[in-house]
Amino acid sequence: MAKNNQIETTHKSFEDIKRLNRYNEEFWMARELAKTLDYAEFRNFSPVIEKAKKACKNSEQTVSDHFVEMHEMVDLGSGAQRKVASYALSRYACYLIVQNADANKLVIANGQTYFAIQTRRQELKDDTGFQQLSEDQKRLMLHNELATHNKQLAAVARNAGVKSGLDYAIFQNHGYKGLYGGLDNKAIHQHKGLKKSQKILDHMGSTELAANLFRATQTEDKLKRDAIKGKSKANQTHRKVGAKVRQTIKELGGTMPEDLPTPEQGIKQLEHQRKKLGNGQE
């Protein structure tokens, strides 16, 4: 109970320091965030910001859109104030920061949960660029991102003891069972009415892909953060994370993944169409 209360309090503090600009867009000030994340000296927090900026660039995002350089007034011991360099941070920037911060601190672990959930729930919903994409474009983007994170998850799972192909299939099924209310890969495949040759990840809509992306990224982070060792523990961790994502969807009033509509066209068909358009073909 005490731990849950601390998580709730930490989440509230992240909300407390959130600001809104004149366009009603939310942002966080870097020095305030540093204090909330228990960094006594901002100079110790600056390397974390730099790592997050690199991660942002590697994600093919425009760094200056998420890390806006500006100045912030800080109090001096004499009661005076001094203007110092700082950043206005987007929610995505905060998400990247907590992913690169000291995970041994409980407040960091809580921040990872908070910003991950809010980023996937709100950034995809509120981001103008993302919303301007068609459903097929969203599917392609999220599918590619999920494919990348699945490779990263496989590497982390291997370090935890998930060695063989069969081991990894079992590991993946535990994640699916958590997210899909007990359904494994085969059961999801049957539930969707897919053919043997069709893969479930290729026939997910953007909402379902986003849920699976969140499952994959959070499992990867938890395996690393908690230094999970052993196939059984890795499997249980994956299932628990999947179940947590499912619970979050329920709390937000969303549709359960297995009940979301299945797109008629698979990802390979969409990629083929995109290539044809890119080559100027009709």
Whether residue 237 lies inside any domain: the answer is yes
Domain check: are 157 and 85 in the same one? no
Residue pair 265/197 in contact (Cβ under 8 Å)? The answer is: no
pLDDT digits (tens, 9 = 90+) for 46-80: 999 999 999 999 988 999 999 999 988 777 767 77
Residues 6+ apart with CB under 8 A from 227: none
Residue pair 171/234 in contact (Cβ under 8 Å)? The answer is: yes
Of 128, 160, 195, which residue is a domain's last? 128
- Domain span including residue 182: 133-274
Report the mean per-residue pLDDT for the chain.
86
Domain check: are 107 and 176 in the same one? no
Domain check: are 104 and 221 in the same one? no
Domain check: are 159 and 41 in the same one? no
Domain check: are 114 and 177 in the same one? no
Q: Which residue, among 84, 79, 106, has the nearest Cα to 10 in the 3D structure?
A: 106
Q: Is the pTM of this model over 0.85?
A: no
pLDDT band at 7 (very low <50, low <70, confident <90, very high): very low
> How many domains are contained in the chain?
2
Domain check: are 123 and 20 in the same one? yes
Domain check: are 142 and 123 in the same one? no
